[in-house]
Chain A
Amino acid sequence: MEYKTFEHDVLVIGAGGAGLRAAIEASAAGVSVGLICKSLLGKAHTVMAEGGMAAALANVDDRDNWKVHFSDTMRGGQYVNNWRMAELHAKEAPDRVRELEAWGAVFDRTKDGKILQRNFGGHRYPRLAHVGDRTGLELIRTLQDHGIHQGIDVHMEVTVISLLKDGDRVVGVFAYEREHGRFRVFKAKAVILATGGVGRAYKITSNSWEGTGDGHALAYHAGAELIDMEFIQFHPTGMVWPPSVRGILVTEGVRGEGGILKNNEGKRFMFDDIPDNYKDQTAKDAEEGWRYTQGDKTANRPPELLTRDHVARCINREVKAGRGSPHGGVFLDIAWIKEKLPNAAEHIKRKLPSMYHQFMQLANLDITTTPMEVGPTTHYIMGGIRVDADTQASTLPGLYAAGECASGINGANRLGGNSLSDLIVFGKRAGEYAAEFAKANGHGTIDDAQIETETKRAIEPFDRDGGENPFVIQNDLQDMMQKLVGIVRVEDEMKEALDGLKKLNERTAKSSVTGNVDFNPGWHTALDLRNLLTVSEAITRSAIERKESRGGQFRDDYPDKDPEFAKFNIAAKEVNGEMRISHVPLPEMPAELKQVIEEMG
């Protein structure tokens, strides 16, 4: 088989916020950088991020600092986070945000001309630097427009099929370019995975077609460890109607601006259940909640701004109890603020322009006059490739990971706004340390036998006639994961899912694709399926192993938190072709950080 070979010192897989930031950093360190995008440059899922990026700039509330951000992140993650990542993130996010401004980002401003910050769930003070509700677009465009002048080689519409190894070390990747379906070999001294999430394993998701767990699966099959895969974030507010838009995100910013959740009895149900560890930070009544959203520093946040795992479960509870909206969600009402503000409609359009637009165009609904129908949607995976906190190095030499496909910072639940800042803080670190590794090591040797095996596997679906359409298998997988390993889990159902995954694997092995190799979505889906099945198995096995409820994992058969499970992360690793689950002890937090958490209350 013919294939073209490219050589880079550092190769970055994925061109969202983390990948771009990593590529910029590596390139600035003076090494040659290749950047592989699954789609066109600038289209990665980062553009979907709406609310903002969390950084303790203290522009709006001077009580904020890295210590508060750190303790908010740990509390939100239910203390199974990698404390060192949470610490680095809280300390470095402000510099990374300011750096974006130096590269041309135009954030919304405070009255005194500084970067404006907004309230978000689980953040004690207004902390999210933002641009209306399109902050992700601002981030990706700023990095893209800065990056194109850095001499980075961008390979668009290229999909990685597997990582290439020389012994234990990752030395490149095997990939294909979509237009003509031609195979490519990329040799690299260091490889950074920044491939995002796994949302497409579920039926209802805010993720684009790209979120198929590629980096997770590539790393896993190369022998790296995945941790925390049971922790999936179901964002409480996705669109539920009409069916074709089910799952599309409705930003938490709606609640940050004063939006409230109501059931079909018109009751504001979030006051009914406030977790103990948030009681003293939550408003006691609607009036106090409103004052908080309007910047009153003496007020506590409304219960709609509790962490996402909790809000999603409360919505689930209302729907199951028959108090849901007509299409199986609940009501999110921002229109009510007209009782409080004179120009409410204009205010909403200015603060939440893309939400206004999205509902007008897709649901024929005016959010300035009518409550939205919303329900939980698969949004983010806290779990991912196990990395070293400082360097983002995976457990394999030469392989790094950053952003959603890496794990550690978020623990059992990610706070809104902590993702965009995670991308730039750890994207930068991954780029820096991968470049360092590339400077210290030469190219490894590419194993031709591995390429031959991978080529054969990749083109197999064309050789089989009359097999199933990969789109059908993908749909069945999404239905099953949604039903059996979703927001509320029990052991029996998850075991059923494992059997189901086995059958889906068998069906995938017999699936076939039609047409030729030129830009063929069916073929691409057949290749994606391997990744989706791998991450689905890791999610399911890890979720079975964690016999408790914590953050993004809720077990109906173990509804309480169990302190024993706060002592380790659950890891998945490939051993002789089988998935092995083990416990990785959480490192002991240093005394000074423990004290920070205590001081912050």
Chain B
Amino acid sequence: MATAIFSVRRGGREGGEMVDYQTQVTEGMVVLDAVHQIQAETAPDLACRWNCKAGKCGSCSAEINGKPQLMCMTRLDTIDVTQPVTIEPMRAFPPVKDLISDVSWNYEVKKRIKKFKPRPPDAEDGTWRMQQEDIDRVQEFRKCIECFLCQDVCHVLRDHVKHEEFIGPRFLVYTAALEMHPLDTENRTEELKDAFGIGYCNITKCCTKVCPEHITITDNAIIPLKERVVDEHYDPLKKLVKLFRKK
């Protein structure tokens, strides 16, 4: 049976090194299987996050041969295993140990986004009516499994480290899901413009490319939000109207 070499980042917050492990490759195996085999055979203390192993929980995000991917959905027969396969943690966040990075920043960001605020119910029994075609877009955004691969690949976060000023593609999608929810009455454009830094996104679409849920992040979420911000804050006609209203 074939074997392959996996070069895995080992180490803690302070620093680490790539360590090579050899293990068997069998039909249908994914990268996460290889990591589990390495744990069971030689390195039981090798740290990685995983839960569902079916691409539904978004826990096992890593950089495989430099490409941000879910380990559980990356089949070994889609990558060249004749060369050592590198597995590293997501680099846009501080390393914790081995393949684990500290994603706590994402949880803090989400709390800053105003929660869902529905309009009063449509029917006497306290329920609402929505048409399927009006929620298709929101449902696309709600497919997000919060793997944070889009955050990892975003150059504003990864290279320019603007974590203080920019919430990243994941939370622009989250905000879009709220803003485009047919029942929601909240307005988040002010924050989008300022605190959430939507202007930093220059539409390189790297986030869309890595999304394992195939959410069209840039085209369907970010660009429409940018348009809203422009409409509300930079539209000359509206500015004029506002000016008169003030008087």
Q: Which residues of A contact B (CB under 8 A)?
A: 39-45, 47-48, 98, 101-104, 106, 108-109, 112-115, 131-132, 134, 136-138, 141, 145-146, 148-149, 154, 156, 179, 208-210, 241-245, 248-249, 353-354, 357-358, 361-363, 469-472, 475, 513-516, 518-523, 525
Q: In the docked arrangement, what's the CA distance between A210 and B116, Å?
A: 30
8 Å CB contact of A210 from B51, B54, B129, B131: B51
Q: Across the interface, which residues of A come within 8 angstroms of B49, CB to CB?
A: 39-40
Q: Which residue of A lies closest to B102 (CB)?
A: A179
Q: Across the interface, which residues of A come within 8 angstroms of B53, CB to CB?
A: 208, 245, 248
B229 at the interface (CB under 8 A from A): no
B9 at the interface (CB under 8 A from A): no
Q: In the docked arrangement, what's the CA distance between A108 and B50, Å?
A: 29
Which B residues between 49 and 73 are near A, CB-CB below 8 angstroms?
49-59, 73
Q: Across the interface, which residues of B come within 8 angstroms of A243, CB to CB?
A: 26-28
Taking a contact as CB atoms under 8 Å apart, the answer to whether A362 and B75 are in contact is yes
Given A113-B130, A244-B26, A515-B45, A209 contacting B139 (CB threshold 8 A): no
Q: Across the interface, which residues of A come within 8 angstroms of B29, CB to CB?
A: 242, 244
Taking a contact as CB atoms under 8 Å apart, the answer to whether B143 and A134 are in contact is yes
Q: In the docked arrangement, what's the CA distance between A248 and B59, Å?
A: 16
Taking a contact as CB atoms under 8 Å apart, the answer to whether B73 and A43 are in contact is no
Taking a contact as CB atoms under 8 Å apart, the answer to whether B52 and A361 are in contact is no
Closest Cβ of chain B to A90, distance in Å, is 18
Q: In the docked arrangement, what's the CA distance between A104 and B180, Å?
A: 12
Closest Cβ of chain A to B22, distance in Å, is 17
19 CB contacts below 8 A, A to B, read: A47-B57, A48-B56, A104-B115, A104-B178, A106-B130, A106-B138, A109-B132, A114-B129, A132-B139, A138-B142, A179-B97, A208-B50, A242-B29, A248-B53, A358-B54, A475-B40, A515-B44, A519-B96, A521-B48
Taking a contact as CB atoms under 8 Å apart, the answer to whether B45 and A521 are in contact is yes
Q: Across the interface, which residues of B come within 8 angstroms of A101, CB to CB?
A: 127-128
Taking a contact as CB atoms under 8 Å apart, the answer to whether A104 and B45 are in contact is no
B145 at the interface (CB under 8 A from A): yes
Taking a contact as CB atoms under 8 Å apart, the answer to whether B181 and A104 are in contact is yes
Given A47-B57, A101-B127, A469 contacting B40 (CB threshold 8 A): yes
Q: In the docked arrangement, what's the CA distance between A132 and B135, Å?
A: 13
Taking a contact as CB atoms under 8 Å apart, the answer to whether A137 and B56 are in contact is yes
B46 at the interface (CB under 8 A from A): yes
Q: In the docked arrangement, what's the CA distance between A215 and B47, Å?
A: 24
Q: In the docked arrangement, what's the CA distance between A357 and B70, Å?
A: 14
B146 at the interface (CB under 8 A from A): yes
Q: Across the interface, which residues of B come within 8 angstroms of A112, CB to CB?
A: 129
Closest Cβ of chain B to A511, distance in Å, is 10
Closest Cβ of chain A to B222, distance in Å, is 20
Q: In the docked arrangement, what's the CA distance between A522 and B130, Å?
A: 49
Given A179-B96, A515-B45, A522-B39, A47 contacting B129 (CB threshold 8 A): no
Closest Cβ of chain B to A61, distance in Å, is 17
Q: In the docked arrangement, what's the CA distance between A525 and B39, Å?
A: 11
Q: Across the interface, which residues of A come within 8 angstroms of B33, CB to CB?
A: 244
Q: Across the interface, which residues of B come within 8 angstroms of A146, CB to CB?
A: 115-116
8 Å CB contact of B132 from A40, A48, A108: A108
Given A47-B56, A47-B145, A208-B52, A113 contacting B129 (CB threshold 8 A): yes
B92 at the interface (CB under 8 A from A): no
Taking a contact as CB atoms under 8 Å apart, the answer to whether B118 and A109 are in contact is no
Q: Which residue of A lies closest to B72 (CB)?
A: A362
8 Å CB contact of A362 from B30, B45, B100, B132: B30
Taking a contact as CB atoms under 8 Å apart, the answer to whether B57 and A208 are in contact is yes
Taking a contact as CB atoms under 8 Å apart, the answer to whether B44 and A106 are in contact is no
Q: Across the interface, which residues of A come within 8 angstroms of B247, CB to CB?
A: none
Taking a contact as CB atoms under 8 Å apart, the answer to whether B118 and A102 are in contact is yes
8 Å CB contact of B56 from A113, A354, A516: A354
Q: Which 7 A-B pairs have the closest CB atoms?
A: A242-B28, A522-B44, A515-B45, A113-B129, A104-B116, A519-B47, A208-B51
Closest Cβ of chain A to B155, distance in Å, is 25
Closest Cβ of chain B to A35, distance in Å, is 13
Q: In the docked arrangement, what's the CA distance between A285 and B184, Å?
A: 47
8 Å CB contact of A361 from B48, B50, B55, B143: B55
Q: Across the interface, which residues of B come within 8 angstroms of A138, CB to CB?
A: 142
Q: In the docked arrangement, what's the CA distance between A109 and B51, Å?
A: 30
B103 at the interface (CB under 8 A from A): yes
Which B residues between 100 and 114 are near A, CB-CB below 8 angstroms?
100, 103-104, 107, 110-111
Taking a contact as CB atoms under 8 Å apart, the answer to whether B12 and A518 are in contact is yes
8 Å CB contact of B111 from A106, A134, A149: A149
Taking a contact as CB atoms under 8 Å apart, the answer to whether A131 and B139 are in contact is yes
Taking a contact as CB atoms under 8 Å apart, the answer to whether B57 and A43 are in contact is yes
Which B residues between 12 and 54 are near A, CB-CB below 8 angstroms?
12, 26-30, 33, 39-40, 44-54
Q: In the docked arrangement, what's the CA distance between A244 and B146, Å?
A: 24
Q: Across the interface, which residues of A come within 8 angstroms of B111, CB to CB?
A: 148-149
Closest Cβ of chain A to B204, distance in Å, is 25
Q: Which residue of A lies closest to B34 (CB)?
A: A244
Q: Across the interface, which residues of A come within 8 angstroms of B142, CB to CB?
A: 106, 131, 137-138, 141
Taking a contact as CB atoms under 8 Å apart, the answer to whether B59 and A470 are in contact is no
Which B residues between 107 and 161 are near A, CB-CB below 8 angstroms?
107, 110-111, 115-116, 118, 121, 126-132, 135, 138-139, 142-143, 145-146
Given A98-B126, A520-B45, A522-B39, A106 contacting B139 (CB threshold 8 A): yes
Taking a contact as CB atoms under 8 Å apart, the answer to whether A45 and B39 are in contact is no
Q: In the docked arrangement, what's the CA distance between A245 and B74, Å?
A: 12
Closest Cβ of chain B to A53, distance in Å, is 16
Q: Which residue of A lies closest to B182 (CB)?
A: A106
B88 at the interface (CB under 8 A from A): no
Taking a contact as CB atoms under 8 Å apart, the answer to whether A361 and B73 are in contact is yes
Q: In the docked arrangement, what's the CA distance between A518 and B100, Å?
A: 11
Q: In the docked arrangement, what's the CA distance between A45 and B52, Å?
A: 7
Given contacts A242-B28, A475-B40, A515-B44, 12 further A-B contacts (CB under 8 A): A40-B49, A43-B58, A149-B115, A241-B28, A243-B27, A244-B26, A244-B29, A244-B33, A358-B54, A520-B47, A521-B46, A521-B48
Interface centre among B29, B54, B178, B184 (most CB of A within 10 A): B54
Closest Cβ of chain B to A151, distance in Å, is 11
Taking a contact as CB atoms under 8 Å apart, the answer to whether A39 and B128 are in contact is no
Q: Across the interface, which residues of A come within 8 angstroms of B51, CB to CB?
A: 39, 43-45, 47, 208-210
Q: In the docked arrangement, what's the CA distance between A116 and B40, Å?
A: 45
Q: Which residue of A lies closest to B108 (CB)?
A: A148
Q: Across the interface, which residues of A come within 8 angstroms of B44, CB to CB?
A: 469-471, 513-515, 520-522, 525
Taking a contact as CB atoms under 8 Å apart, the answer to whether A362 and B107 are in contact is no
Task: Type the 1/0 row for B180-197, where 1 means its CB is closer than 8 Å to any CB of A.
Answer: 010010000000000000
Taking a contact as CB atoms under 8 Å apart, the answer to whether A42 and B129 are in contact is no
Q: In the docked arrangement, what's the CA distance between A108 and B146, Å?
A: 21
B179 at the interface (CB under 8 A from A): no
Q: Across the interface, which residues of B come within 8 angstroms of A109, CB to CB?
A: 130-132, 135
Given A45-B51, A47-B52, A244 contacting B30 (CB threshold 8 A): yes
Q: Across the interface, which residues of A come within 8 angstroms of B54, CB to CB?
A: 48, 245, 248-249, 358, 362
Q: In the docked arrangement, what's the CA distance between A241 and B52, Å?
A: 17
Taking a contact as CB atoms under 8 Å apart, the answer to whether B45 and A523 are in contact is yes
Q: Across the interface, which residues of B come within 8 angstroms of A209, CB to CB?
A: 50-51
Q: In the docked arrangement, what's the CA distance between A179 and B132, Å?
A: 43
Interface centre among B12, B44, B111 (most CB of A within 10 A): B44
Q: Across the interface, which residues of B come within 8 angstroms of A245, CB to CB?
A: 28, 53-54
Taking a contact as CB atoms under 8 Å apart, the answer to whether A513 and B40 are in contact is no
Q: Across the interface, which residues of B come within 8 angstroms of A475, CB to CB?
A: 40
